[in-house]
Amino acid sequence: MFRELRLKLTLINVGVMAFLLLIFIIGTFFVMRIQVINQSQQLMQIIAGKAGSGTIVNPREHDKHLAKYFYIKTDNSGKVTYTSSGLPMPLAQLTPLLDKAFHKSNSRGEVEVNDETYTYLKMPLNQGPGYVITFVDLERDKDILQELLLTLSIGGLVCLGLAYYGSRFMADRAMAPIKSSWQRQQEFVADASHELRTPLSVVQVNLDIVKGNPEETVASQSKWLDYSLIEIRRMSKLVDDLLFLARADSQQQTLNPQMFSLKAALNEVFESFRPLAETNGISLEASLNTAADYYGDENRIKQLIVILLDNALKYTHPGGQVTLSLQNWGTHAEITVSDTGEGIAQEHLTKIFERFYRADPARSQQREGTGLGLAIADWIIKCHHGRIKVTSSPGKGTAFVINLPYQS
């Protein structure tokens, strides 16, 4: 699919370039041709005007012109009375050329003799009866125009070749993020399907057990029903997270910013985690010494801290410690969530914000979670124009440091 799309993009670019080059070549050729014709007309007009008034035209006077020219004076019957220097052939051989030009009804035009084409201009003499007929040989100009056309054509083909390879390069670069996004989407769908399949399977097995014992009471089957309820809640959380990220990707997920006390919001989340920490034998500490107000979405900031504290408690063993701190640095607020838990290896730190990414899949499967929490946290931080930094050492713990700039 991507191969065909890349080829189409390349061919479209080359086609547009070929069309533009064709217009340029044709336009340049016709502009030069018109200039040559106009130059010849001006040359004939000048020579005929001077010769018609009796002025002797110096053959070298108009050597700047590329075309070969000469003129002949005749009486009213067409008999030659004077010829200029520089005749291309003996006068006897020019008689057919002269007769054609003299007897044509138009005072200017083209005549052909011996496979050579001449442009002529016939004007009456200013002094005495008769005419002066000026001839210009455009063969040299035509040769130059043909060489110009050939040069432009070769240059156009070279440009098309360069455009083809340039278009392929640009198409590859343009396709890279699309291909990467497509692959991530495919992986996302596969991971989501896998995450949903497990709880669905558990629910199905538990319900099959309950259904297979119709004589049992609800109380006796409560264990299997509780297992099903746990998995249904897990699926509900997973679906909610998936919908959240889907709306975020389509830019339908919006913020509701307002001024609020960052300290109060963090303290509210902190207090809600105290019972869980005590139950797991983990020391939960807070250092919220600043009372600065912050302009942002209070609910999303709370959601961010919930995700980080939940992960910290989940991966910290009994007897360990989790700390939430808040500092005011004037231009930004700094929130830190640190723990003394298992830690994360360095090679995983750059990937932990990817959807469904797990540094240790074997251990992660033993803990509840959707694998989407840090992806949601990253989105919330970016929407508040903030930054997050992670430091960790396996066996020593992890620290998430968030900088949230104050809005002016």
Enclosing H/E stretch for 121:
strand 116-124
Position 62 scores a pLDDT of 47
Mean of pLDDT values over 215-240: 81
pLDDT in tens, 292-303: 789 999 999 999
Helix (H, G, I), strand (E, B) or coil at 360: coil
Query: What are the residues facing 387 on neighbouring strands?
Result: 403
Interhelix angle for 222-249 vs 373-383, to 10°?
Answer: 30
Cα distance between residue 340 and residue 330, in whole Å: 29
Burial class (CB in 10 A: 0-12, 13-18, 19+), 72: buried
- pTM check: above 0.85: no
In single-letter form, the type of residue at position 53 comes to S
The residue-averaged pLDDT of 216-237 equals 81
CA-to-CA distance for 210 and 142, rounded, in angstroms? 97
Helix, strand or coil, per DSSP, at residue 287: strand
Round to whole Å and give the CA distance between 96 and 99.
Answer: 5
- Choose between 76 and 284: higher pLDDT: 284
CB 284 within 8 A of CB 273: yes
Measured in degrees and rounded to the nearest 5, phi and psi for residue 295 equal: -100, 110
Average pLDDT, the chain: 82
